[in-house]
Structure 1
Amino acid sequence: MKKYIFYYLLVFMGIMLIQTGCSDDAPVGDYFADEQYNARGTVITPSNVVNGFFDLGDLDNSSIAFDLAQTGEAASSVSVLANYNGGGFSEVTSVSSLPTTVTVNANDVISALGLDANSIAVGDVIVMVFDATSGGGTYRSSNTLSAPFSCLSALAGTYNYASTNYWCAGPDLTGEVTIIETGAGTYSFDDWSFGSYGNCYGGFGTWGSLSMNDVCNKISLSGEDNYGDTWELTINSVSGADLDLTWTNTYGEYGTTVLTRTDGTNWPPLSN
C-alpha cells in the first residue's frame, strides 16, 4: 500500500511542476527570447591596419588607416576616441555608415588630446576605442586599436657621392657608396671615406664597428674603426635628393660629401 501512495505522490508532484513551468510568468516563448537573448547594441571591430604607428620623424604627414565593421544592431554612428599613455579619452573622429575605412592623422590625435608634440617620445602609445550608437543605446566595444609613436627609418641603398675638401687636398671625387642596414635604425657605409681613402692611401680602410644611427631623423655615429679612432658626421643640409654632410675622425681626417639619390625620391629631413 505504501508503494501505491508513494507512486501517486510522485505523479501529483510531476503534474504540479508541469503546471508551474507552463504559467504565464515563466521565461519561455517569445517574451523570454526577446527580453533575455536578443542582442542589444553594436560591436565594432577594427582590421586591416595600414602603417600601424605614428611617425615622430614626420608628424605632419603621418597617419594610420583601418577598416571598421559591425556586428549586432545597425549603428547610426560610431565615435573613434583616443587616449595617450593610459590617460582620458577624447573623440578624434566619427563615422555614420559601416563598413568603412577610417584614416586618423597624427596631428588630429595631438589636437584632440591637447598634447605637446615636442614632449612625445618614441614608445608612447595612442589607444583607440569605439563607441557605437544604435537603437539599443550607445555601447563601447571591447575591441581596441593601439598605435605607438615610432620612427620610420629607410636609409639603406646605393647613392652617388661627390667628395670635396678632404684632408689630403686631392681632386674632387665622384663615385657610388652603399648604405647597409645592420639593424633597426642602424647602418654602415661600405666606404666611410667616400672615395678619399682610395685617392689618399690607394685603398679602402678597415671600418671596425663604426655605425650610423637614425632615431627619428636624428643622425649620430657610434663605434670606432679598426685603428681605434672615432668618427663624427655632421648634416650640413638636405635639399631634395641631395644630402650634404661633413665627416671627421680623431686621426685628423675629414671631408665634405654630397650624397645624391638616384631612385627619384628625396632624403628625409635628417639632422644631428
Structure 2
Amino acid sequence: MNKKILSILALAGLGLFATSCADEDLGPVVTFDTAGKGAYVRLLEDNGNLLVNLLDLSQSEYVYSVEFVDLEQGDLVSEYRIDLVYQDRNTDNGDNSSGPNEIMSWSASEFVESERGFKSVMDISITPDDLFRTAGVDASTVKAGDRFVVKGTLTLEDGSTFTADNSTAAVNGSAFAGHFDFVLSAGCPSDLTGTFDFVGSNFWCGAADNTGSVTINALGGGSYSFSDWSFGAYPACYGGNAAGWGTLAFTDVCEEVSFTGRTDNYGDTWTFTSSLSDDGTEWTINWVNTYGEAGTGTVINPAGWDFVLAE
C-alpha cells in the first residue's frame, strides 16, 4: 500500500499515562543560607523587552531594577558592574565579536533601599546605543541572530567578587530570581500566525483545483509551519491529510521569508519556489518533492503579506 495512504489512514494512537509520587528522601526547599554564603543580584522587575528590534531601535530599551542579597541585606556590596560580551553570529564581513567590556557600574554611595530593605539599583536603562557603543560596532552591521550578553558582577567590601560563574545553580535559577546575566538578542518581532484561505492547483495526480483554509502555526524564533503543506493535494489525491509534516518550515527574519525546513516525516525532500502578487495579498507557493508529488498553493491574506521573499 502507498506509504502516504498508510499514514493518512493512520488511525487512533495509544495514550500513555504516568503517575508519580512524592520522594520522601528529598530535602527541604533550598534557601540562600543552604545554597551558600556570598552575594547575588535579585531581579525586582523589568519591562520584559529582551529583543533588540532591528526594525525599530527606538522601541528596544531594556529597563530593570535589582536588589543585592547578602548576609546584611546588601550592605556588604561595594560595587555593582555590568559588562557586555557581543557575539557576532553573522560573520560574512568578519567576526566583530568583542568583550567583556564594561557598560556601566554603581558604587555603594549610589545604591538606594528597596521596599524590602535591601540595597538596590532601580530603573537601569540599557539602550541599543549603549550596546553598540560598548561593543564597538555600527548599528548597520548588527544582524538578526547576534547576541548581546550582559554579565553582572558584585564586589564586596572585602574585595571578593560574585558572578553567575561562581554562584550555585540554585542562586542562578528562577527560585531566587537571580539576575547576574541576561541576553539581549538582535532580531525583529514576527507574528504571521492565523488561518487563511487558499486555492490549491496543479496537483500531480490530476485532481481538480480546490479551495480551503490553512493555518500558519508558530514554531518559535520566527519559524512557522503550515497545517497543510500540500494545500489540498493530499485530500484530493489520497482522501485525507498527512499524519505529520516533518521539518517543513519557513522562517521570517526581519520581514524576509525563506523556506528553511525541507524534509517531511517520510524522509522525502521538498523544493519550494514562491512569489507575491503585485498587491501583496496572494502568496503563491509551488512545491515538489522527491517522492514525485507536486502542487501549487495560493494563500490569500486580504490585509497583505508584510514581508519580502528571500532570493
Q: State the TM-score, normalized to the length of structure 2.
A: 0.47
TM-superposed CA distance for 1:59, in Å, is: 1.9
Task: Verify: 1:161 aligned to 2:156, yes or no.
Answer: no
Question: What is the match of residue 113 of structure 1?
Answer: 135
Q: Is the CA contact (8 Å cut-off) linking 1:221 and 1:232 kept in structure 2?
A: no
Deviations 1:41-72 (A, max 9, x none): xx9976433445335xx523362522336788
Q: Relative to 1, partners in 2 of residues 1:101 and 1:255: Cα closer, same or farther, differing over 3 Å? A: same
Q: How does 1:121-270 map to 2 (within 5 A)?
A: 122=145, 124-127=147-150, 144-149=180-185, 154-164=191-201, 167=204, 168=206, 170-171=208-209, 173-181=210-218, 187-199=224-236, 201=237, 203-206=239-242, 208-214=244-250, 217=253, 218-224=258-264, 226=266, 229-237=268-276, 243-250=283-290, 251-260=292-301, 267=306
Equivalent position to 1:84, from 78, 83, 86: 86
TM-superposed CA distance for 1:254, in Å, is: 2.6
TM-superposed CA distance for 1:102, in Å, is: 2.7
Q: Relative to 1, partners in 2 of residues 1:46 and 1:183: Cα closer, same or farther, differing over 3 Å? A: closer
Q: Is the CA contact (8 Å cut-off) linking 1:180 and 1:187 kept in structure 2?
A: yes
Q: Relative to 1, partners in 2 of residues 1:114 and 1:254: Cα closer, same or farther, differing over 3 Å? A: farther
TM-superposed CA distance for 1:210, in Å, is: 2.8
Question: What is the match of residue 7 of structure 1?
Answer: none
TM-superposed CA distance for 1:194, in Å, is: 1.2
1:69 and 1:53 mapped to 2: Cα distance? 16
Task: Verify: 1:102 aligned to 2:138, yes or no.
Answer: no
1:123 and 1:245 mapped to 2: Cα distance? 30
Q: State the TM-score, normalized to the length of structure 1.
A: 0.52
For the aligned residue pairs, the C-alpha RMSD in angstroms reads 5.0
TM-superposed CA distance for 1:230, in Å, is: 2.1
Structure 1 residue runs of 5 or longer lacking an equivalent are: 1-42, 132-139
Deviations 1:157-205 (A, max 9, x none): 322223455554844x432112345676665433212124444x26334
Larger Rg: 1
TM-superposed CA distance for 1:121, in Å, is: 7.1
1:50 and 1:242 mapped to 2: Cα distance? 37
Q: Relative to 1, partners in 2 of residues 1:159 and 1:121: Cα closer, same or farther, differing over 3 Å? A: closer
Identity %: 23
**Which has a greater percent of helix?**
1
Q: Is the CA contact (8 Å cut-off) linking 1:90 and 1:113 kept in structure 2?
A: no
Structure 2 residue runs of 5 or longer lacking an equivalent are: 1-39, 69-73, 88-97, 113-120, 155-160, 164-178
Q: Which amino acid aligns with 1:115?
A: V
2:45 and 2:282 mapped to 1: Cα distance? 36
